[in-house]
Structure 1
Amino acid sequence: MSLALATGRRAFLKRSIVAGVAGMGAATISNPLMASSGLLLPEYYAGAQEAAAFWAKPRVLNLFRPSTGEHRVICFWRDGAIDMQGYREACHMLRDVRAGLTVAMDLRLLNLLRGQQGWLEEAYGLREPYQVNSGYRGMQTNESEGGVRDSFHTKAMAADGKYPSLPIEYQGKLIAAFRSGGVGFYINRQKFIHSDVGRVRFWVR
């Protein structure tokens, strides 16, 4: 593929992603979006009863950290309260590996990751672990990795990662469907999705 064709394809893909995310609307998803794979995004948010039933279940994260080879299946919430042992394990899996720093991760981020996994489990029976590329980053690590100065990674409010078997564009749209914060689509080289629980916004790189 020529450079011009590759550049044109990336530009088209970026426009498609931005248009697709914008089509979700501010509060509900009136038209279910489909990635090229045919994987469906949530058509609507669950009603209060269904949502309460889902979040009343133990909240489990299946996480894999390729940089260390660690794989953990962690329950961070059960019986209506934080499971402190599981929560600490989740924070450790999302630590700054380079600096060896573990901090208290924002519970909303863990819930967002759980919501994503829960949809994939219930809709498709997917049990693949979420591959964590980056979670918390101290200031030095963030600077060395080219992160913005006020990155949500430095506030323990962000994670970068992916499910290797799923289309990256679909994964970003799925996270965006929760309208819980920022979603970055990194589609050019090392393909992954940035998720944070800051303000709602979207970008493609």
Structure 2
Amino acid sequence: MAQLTPREAPDEDLEPPPDIFDAQSLDLEFWLKPRTIQLIRPASGEKAKLLYWKDGELIDSAYQELCYLLRDVNGKETAPIDPKLLETLWGAQAFVARYGIESPVEILSGYRTKSSNNKLIEQGIPAARQSLHMEGKAADIRIANLNEEVLGGLVRSFRQGGVGFYYRSGPRGGWIHADTGLKRTWKG
């Protein structure tokens, strides 16, 4: 069974988080409230906390900044990011915040140019030739205090697209791939 991997002791007043989160337990009110997302790009050191959705609409200035943050940091190019992907990232962060886990979403990879994607393949790094990263529909992410199994299980419970589990040992651990393509799962 998947376990949380806490890096700090939770507040004693909080109910302990479950081993597996299930977004299907959310009520409609959760999805109607304003959305503020906190992101960090370890590759560039950039951080942002942005209100990007309110009253049923994307806030264009915040959306543009999110597209920039999810850019190809190697190819230095920006592309439109699928708003459904932002919804998935925000949903995961907002859902675990209910259990006292208030960590930014680490963006390891967002949009990728074809050239950057091909370089990864040439280096033997997991990357699909027709990657949804190249369409702005995928991100490789982590959230501190959640292992890959728990975070991936939560994202999969949104039923919004594909989820890849990339298990790695070490202090940085693994990550998950989340996309807005067909519903599927895999391990890499």
The range that moved more, 162-171 or 97-106, is 162-171
- State the 1:58 CA deviation: 1.3
Please tell me the root mean square deviation across aligned C-alpha atoms, in Å.
1.6
Which runs of no fewer than 5 residues in structure 2 stay unpaired?
A: 5-17, 122-126
Helix, strand or coil: the match of 2:145? coil
Helix, strand or coil: the match of 2:146? coil
Which of 57, 75, 89 aligns to 1:81? It is 57
Q: Is the 8 A contact 1:116 1:174 kept in 2?
A: yes
TM-score, normalised relative to structure 1 = 0.77
Q: Which has the larger radius of gyration?
A: 1
TM-score, normalised relative to structure 2 = 0.83
Residues 1:103 and 2:68 aligned together: no
Give runs of aligned pairs for residues 14-25 of structure 1, distance below 5 A: none
Change (3 A) 1:39 1:77: same
Change (3 A) 1:143 1:43: closer
Name the residue aligned to 1:127: 102
Point out the structure with the larger helix share.
1
Name the residue aligned to 1:70: 46
- State the 1:95 CA deviation: 0.4
Deviations 1:88-141 (CA, angstroms, capped at 9, x unpaired)? 11111100011111111001000111111111112x122111111000001000
Q: Which has the higher contact order (CA 8 A, sep 6+)?
A: 2
Residues 1:36 and 2:3 aligned together: yes
Which runs of no fewer than 5 residues in structure 1 stay unpaired?
A: 1-33
Name the residue aligned to 1:185: 165
Which of 193, 196, 199 aligns to 2:179? It is 196
Residues 1:153 and 2:153 aligned together: no
Aligned length: 167
